[in-house]
Amino acid sequence: MSDQTLQERISQLEYENNKLKKINAVLIERVEAGGCQGANPYSAFEHSVILAEQVRERTDALNRVLSELKISHRALKKANEIAALANQRLIDAIESISDAFVLFDQDRKIVLFNSKFSRVWAETGLEIKTGITINDINRLARESGLVREEYPATNSDSKVFRLRDSRWIQMSERPTAEGGLVILYTDITAIKEREMADRELALAQKTKLLQNTVDNLSQGVVLVTPEGRVELWNDRFLDLTGVDGAQVEAYPPFAALMLDNHSILQHALTAAQQGEVLASEQRGANGQVIEVRTHPMPQGGFVNTYTDITERHRYAESLRQSEQWIRLITDNVPALIAYLDQELNYRFTNKVYNQWFGKGDTELNGKDIFAVYTDAQYLELKPYIDRALSGENVTFEAWQRNALGEDRYMLKSYVANIDNKGEPDGFFVMIRDITERRRSAEALELSHQLLEQRVEERTSELTELNEQLRSEIQERVEVESRLLDAKMEAEQANLSKTKFLAAVSHDLLQPLNAARLFSGALSEQIKDPRNCSLAQSVSNSLDDVESLLRTLVDISKLDAGVVTADVINFSLLDLMNTLSTEFQQLAISENLEFSAVNCNTTVRSDSQLLARILRNFLTNAIRYTPDGKILFGCRRDGDDIWIEVHDTGVGIPENKVQEIFQEFKRLPHQQSGCEKGLGLGLAIVDKISRVLGHEIRVDSKEGKGSVFAVKVPKGEPAFSPELTGPNQPVFSKGLEQANIWLIDNDESICQGMATLLEGWGCNLITALSFDDLATKVRFDDSDVNVLIADYHLDNDETGIDAAREVIKHLNRPLPVLMITANYSKELNQEIRDLGFMLLNKPVKPLKLKTTLIHLVEQSNTAYC
């Protein structure tokens, strides 16, 4: 029961008690008055009894009320004591808490507060009392300058203040059940200081981490503040720009760094002033090529990055050289080659294509197909073009008129170019003039059809090569992030170029091989000396074509890095004897004295590659020696052997000695015939020597002669010299009545071989495949001496496969001569492991004859 209710109850009881007293007094007076008047005594007595009973009841009720009143007074006193105790405890409690405490009533007036709240206001000189409203508190805080800053806290029911004594106070509000308000003011200065210390520590750690990150970047980095001062940099920035580190450590304005004429920094400042991301390429202090990028920041200032792209430029130069090689190759391929995009605009044409249509070298680039074809001609080509643009490879034949007005019959191939998404985005065009083939005899038709198929295959390889080059050129824009990929693609492009040249050489070697066989047969059958001279001229021309083709293929293989050394121990005497015999006749024909000092020792090298180096030395010595002598010999130098070629020729100017090893570099000379060749001989020597790891030395005096030498290490004695290549023994026995089988898929080769071998007295059976041979011979009753097989046959069959089938059906060993245009060491080793002999195309008749004599004798010995 509350104090107010108890007080009201006491007042009501006192009022009723007074009322009963008045009633009692009135009743007594009335009784007394009645007795005096002589009223009916009995009635009066009865009335008195009733009144007495009522008085007694009222008196008992009053006594009970008084008893309850006493109890209530005792409860009230106890309640007051409890309330006083609770109030004291509340005061003690709010005094004991660490926060400033304020209690407001429903009208937002102060009811209670603790001393800590008073101390908050102590420095202001203001006295805070109960009854002040919360609005007054806020006003006084502003006017007195107690609160300097106010921040909303993360909790919507609290705020944070920074006082003028730099303390931090957090205010928290809580409503009471009666509608009042409790506010706590918590001193969070220590927490704020700890947060600030943690923040400064985290900032320092992040700054250190950022600096470490920047220091470990491969790029130079510098950060310039909105005020134009250098704030952050790394050592790479100092290295690439040549800026003094001590100067940067003074945190100067960025513009001050340009006082030493730093053009790289001038670019960055100009770009930053324009407020946009700019990039340029500059030359560094040490000659590097540096890419400078300026990135303006949103709040002012900028970040510069400096990237050394010297290697990228070197790769770009390598790509340009590859492009020049491709242009050189395509311009010298006897075919019209072009590339058209989806809109039928020319993107590439080779020299032959431009000449055919009477256009300049770059005149067609960017123009559409109607620049060379009329509307009527285009309508004839449109079905094939549509098929190529749909992703199909198309080959067809058609008559076409060139710029000279000649009508020629052309073999055309349209090869679709498929992008990374598998969609065609253009097509390659390869056109061959096949007029003469069409007009030739019916017997050559099969050969021409095979040639068409091979042209289509080579066109496909050329398509892949051009696609690879186009992809490389496009990705040069993104070389910063794809530098390694660009390098790999460039190497792949060189490898593709080598494969292309090897494939082209194979196709060219086929007719060249046939021509050499026919030429050899013709030379042996001609009796007239004048006609013999003509036949010899044809043979010499074929030698020149073969040398030129092999030189181009070799230089491409060496550039692509696909040539590897097959290092073995072999006798130097055999190699020098072979070369001496070979070049002595050539020197005699040029009226030169040739002498050789052979060396009977074993060396460790690749015999074929070493022979190629020495042949180039000897060829140049004869070519550039108008008269005089040539000496071919060797001398010891510790554990090495110097093989030297001395001549008394024109010599080499001192400033040209290094230049002669560059590609397409030749010394000018007036001697007739010295203009032959491409100037690649010594370039090949230089590249082969790098593959072998052999040192090359040149000593020359202009007008007196030159010495070319190669240093070869000694090796262990070789006890099993090989009988292949130039070291084959020449036997005296002839080939009369020798039974020889030939498997070759080219009829022209078969005809040429038949003419040549039958002229030597051989019995020759030719076949286009093993199945064809099986229809012409009886394996169980045959005295065949030698099998000759071309390595590349139709239907993915090889000469090795055919030779194995023949030996299997004969059920006895048979000497096999394998002929191929493939010069790879892997194939050479495979054929050697099988025990077969190997001749490379084009086959020289004399070499073929000596090899066959050896194999026939081997066969006869086996029969015996």
Condensed to tens digits (0 to 9), the pLDDT of residues 555-570 reads 556 665 656 777 888 8
Mean pLDDT of 559-584: 79
- Of residues 356 and 729, the one with the higher pLDDT is 356
Q: Which CATH class is domain 564-713?
A: alpha beta
Give the separation between CA 186 and CA 122, rounded to whole angstroms. 16
Q: N- to C-terminal Cα distance for the chain?
A: 144
Q: With 70 as the cut, is the pLDDT of residue 527 above it?
A: no
Q: Beta 629-637 vs 593-597: how paired, if at all?
A: parallel
Percentage of residues in the chain having pLDDT higher than 90: 6
Q: What average pLDDT score do residues 676-695 get?
A: 75
For residue 554, the model assigns a pLDDT of 62
Sign of the torsion angle spanned by Cα atoms 769, 771, 777, 780:
positive
pLDDT of residue 261: 44
Q: Which of 82-96, 521-535, 647-661 comes out lowest in average pLDDT?
A: 521-535
Helix/strand/coil for 441: coil
Q: What is the DSSP letter of 123?
A: G
Per the structure block, which two tokens stand in for 499?
A: 């494969």
Evaluate the CA torsion angle 464, 466, 470, 475 in order and state its sign: positive
pLDDT digits (tens, 9 = 90+) for 802-814: 999 988 888 888 8
User: Which letter, b or e, does each residue of 445-460 get, where b requires 16 or more Cβ atoms within 10 Å of its Cβ?
Assistant: eebeebbbeebbebbe
DSSP state of 798: B
Band (pLDDT 50/70/90 cuts) for residue 817 is very high
Mean pLDDT of the chain: 76
Give the separation between CA 68 and CA 74, rounded to whole angstroms.
Answer: 10
147 or 441, greater pLDDT = 147
Query: Higher model confidence: residue 832 or residue 675?
Result: 832
Decide if pLDDT at 847 tops 70. Answer: yes
Q: Name the region of 673 (left: φ>0; alpha: ψ -120 to 50; beta: rest).
A: left
State the CATH architecture for 217-308.
2-Layer Sandwich (3.30)
Q: Could you report the per-residue pLDDT of 263-285, keeping only the tens digit for each?
A: 555 555 555 555 566 667 777 66
- Please report which confidence band the pLDDT of residue 532 belongs to, taking 50, 70 and 90 as the band edges: low
The residue with greater pLDDT, 327 or 744, is 744
Which pLDDT belongs to residue 643? Answer: 93
pLDDT of residue 721: 36
Return the higher-pLDDT residue of 306 and 642: 642
Helix axes 681-692, 529-560, angle to 10 degrees: 50
How many other CB atoms are found less than 10 A from the CB of residue 749?
A: 23
Question: Which residues are paired to 161 by β-bridges?
Answer: 150, 169
- Supply the pLDDT for residue 44: 65
pLDDT greater than 70 at residue 32: no
Q: Report the pLDDT averaged over residues 763-787.
A: 88
Domain positions in the chain: 3-94, 98-193, 217-308, 313-481, 564-713, 730-863
- Same fold across 217-308 and 313-481: yes
Rank 178-192, 577-591, 667-681 by mean pLDDT and report only the highest.
577-591
Segment 631-637 shows an average pLDDT of 90
- Percent of the chain exceeding pLDDT 70 equals 74
Residue 728: the pLDDT is: 39
pLDDT 10s digits, 388-398: 888 889 999 88
Beta strand 230-233 with 220-224 is antiparallel
Q: What's the pTM value of the predicted model, to 2 decimals?
A: 0.33
- d(CA 362, CA 354) in angstroms, rounded, equals 8
What is the full DSSP assignment across 323-338?
HHHHHHHHHHSSSEEE
Q: What is the pLDDT of residues 187-218, one digit of tens each?
A: 777 777 787 777 777 766 766 676 666 666 77
pLDDT at 164 over 90: no
| Whether residue 674 has pLDDT greater than 50 | no
Across residues 58-80, what is the average pLDDT?
78
Region 810-820: mean pLDDT is 89
391: its two tokens: 């992703």
| Fold type of domain 730-863 | Rossmann fold (3.40.50)
Mean pLDDT throughout 812-838? 85
Residue 727, class by beta-carbon neighbours within 10 Å (0-12 exposed, 13-18 middle, 19+ buried)? Answer: middle
Residue 732 has pLDDT above 50, yes or no: no
Q: How confident is residue 713, by pLDDT bands cut at 50, 70 and 90?
A: very high
For residues 331 and 409, which has the higher predicted lDDT (pLDDT)?
409
* Domain covering 313-481: architecture: 2-Layer Sandwich (3.30)
Kindly tell me if the per-residue pLDDT of 644 is higher than 90: yes
Cis peptide before 842 (omega within 30 of 0): yes
Cα dihedral sign for 71, 75, 81, 84?
A: negative
One-character DSSP codes across 42-66: HHHHHHHHHHHHHHHHHHHHHHHHH
What kind of fold does domain 98-193 have according to CATH?
A: Beta-Lactamase (3.30.450)
Whether residue 355 is predicted with pLDDT greater than 70 in this model: the reply is yes
Angle at 733 between CA 730 and CA 739, to 5 degrees: 110
